[in-house]
């Protein structure tokens, strides 16, 4: 009798669904940029920066959708020939890699983030999904799948002409830091490694490192009514290099005419380069050569 009563009590206890956990987010996967001059973009990213162009994707109805410039096996610069006006934002989207897109989608949904109803396998063969951050930026999470264009080309198209072999960060404008922090820090697990500004008493940039790697997202704060040129400065990518001086010589020899390298407020040597549509690619050394302003860099 007692045993039957105990079993009936167990059956009456409701089962509690386990909340999804966040899978790893190890790195920046790519940045998507718009252009109205594909030949000029190819000259900049392919010739001047030395990245090979391993594959392209066409639209279902025909015509080029995008082309890829390969930085390393897990990182690309995606160029979309879809810039239609001088005032249009050159940034299409930013993307981070995850090891399990379905799990990450479910995790975000459980925390109130608007996500697609279902995942899709892209025309490149990878599984990905897109969300919008509080500033309206498209943020993609991609899982590289066996047999995709990316994985079948692991170890290929990694020529010695590359000015860099690593996208170390991407930057986007942020109007409300608290809202951005709620998504990137509180939900996704990014964490601050440095903040600084044009002056010591203000914060214009915040470096938010991915939870499971060394790459970071840079908040670009205090940007009001930006021109297309200003947006090109703010919406940027940074390429890690062992020597900015060597990188400067390389791109000058390949026909670019940038300003001289400088030491940034974070104490690191950097070189700002601009593609034909004014999007900034920043060459950056990994270590400061002088004390950073405003806050220490957390390693």
Question: With 50 as the cut, is the pLDDT of residue 136 above it?
Answer: yes
Q: In the chain, which residue ranges form alpha helices assigned H by DSSP?
A: 2-12, 38-41, 101-110, 177-181, 228-234, 244-253
Question: With 80 as the cut, is the pLDDT of residue 10 above it?
Answer: no
pLDDT confidence tier of residue 36, bands split at 50, 70 and 90? very high
* Residues 30, 75 contacting (CB under 8 angstroms): yes
Which pair of tokens denotes residue 184? 């990137």
User: Which secondary structure element, helix H or strand E, spans residue 269, and what is its range?
Assistant: strand 269-274
Sole residue written with tokens 């806050």: 295
Arithmetic mean of pLDDT, 160-164 = 98
* Residues 276, 47 contacting (CB under 8 angstroms): no
Could you tell me the pTM of the whole model? 0.93
Q: What is the three-class DSSP state of 57?
A: strand
**How buried is 24 (Cβ within 10 angstroms: 0-12 exposed, 13-18 middle, 19+ buried)?**
middle
Which pair of tokens denotes residue 217? 């997202």
Domains and CATH numbers, the chain: 27-153 (3.10.180.10), 167-284 (3.10.180.10)
pLDDT of residue 17: 60
Q: What percent of the chain has pLDDT over 70?
A: 94
pLDDT tens-place string over residues 79-106: 999 999 989 999 999 999 999 999 999 9
Sole residue written with tokens 């670009």: 220
Which pair of tokens denotes residue 298? 């957390």
């Amino acid at each position: 009798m007692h045993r039957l009563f105990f079993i009936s009590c167990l059956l009456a206890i409701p089962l509690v669904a386990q909340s999804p956990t966040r899978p790893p987010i190890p790195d920046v996967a790519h940045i998507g940029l718009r252009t109205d001059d594909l030949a000029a973009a190819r000259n900049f990213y392919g010739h001047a920066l030395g990245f090979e162009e391993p594959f392209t994707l066409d639209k279902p109805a025909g015509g080029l959708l995008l082309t890829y410039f390969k930085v390393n096996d897990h990182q690309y610069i995606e160029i979309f020939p879809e810039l239609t006006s001088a005032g249009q934002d050159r940034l299409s989207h930013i993307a981070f890699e995850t090891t399990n897109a379905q799990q990450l989608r479910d995790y975000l949904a459980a925390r109130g983030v608007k996500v697609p109803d279902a995942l899709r396998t892209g025309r490149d063969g990878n599984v990905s999904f897109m969300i919008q951050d509080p500033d309206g930026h498209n943020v993609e999470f991609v899982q590289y799948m066996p047999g995709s264009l990316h994985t079948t080309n692991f170890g290929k198209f990694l020529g010695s002409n590359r000015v860099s072999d690593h996208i170390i960060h991407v930057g986007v404008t942020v109007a409300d830091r608290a809202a951005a922090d709620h998504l990137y820090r509180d939900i996704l697990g990014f964490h601050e490694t440095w903040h600084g500004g044009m002056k010591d008493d203000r914060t214009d940039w915040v470096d938010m490192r991915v939870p499971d790697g060394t790459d970071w997202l840079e908040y670009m704060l205090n940007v009001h009514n930006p021109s297309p040129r200003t947006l090109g400065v703010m919406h940027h990518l940074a390429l890690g290099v062992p020597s900015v001086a060597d990188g400067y010589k390389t791109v000058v020899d390949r026909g670019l005419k940038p300003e001289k390298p400088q030491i940034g407020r974070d104490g690191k040597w950097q070189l700002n380069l601009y593609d034909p549509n004014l999007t900034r690619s920043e060459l950056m050394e990994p270590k400061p050569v002088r004390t950073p302003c405003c806050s220490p860099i957390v390693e």
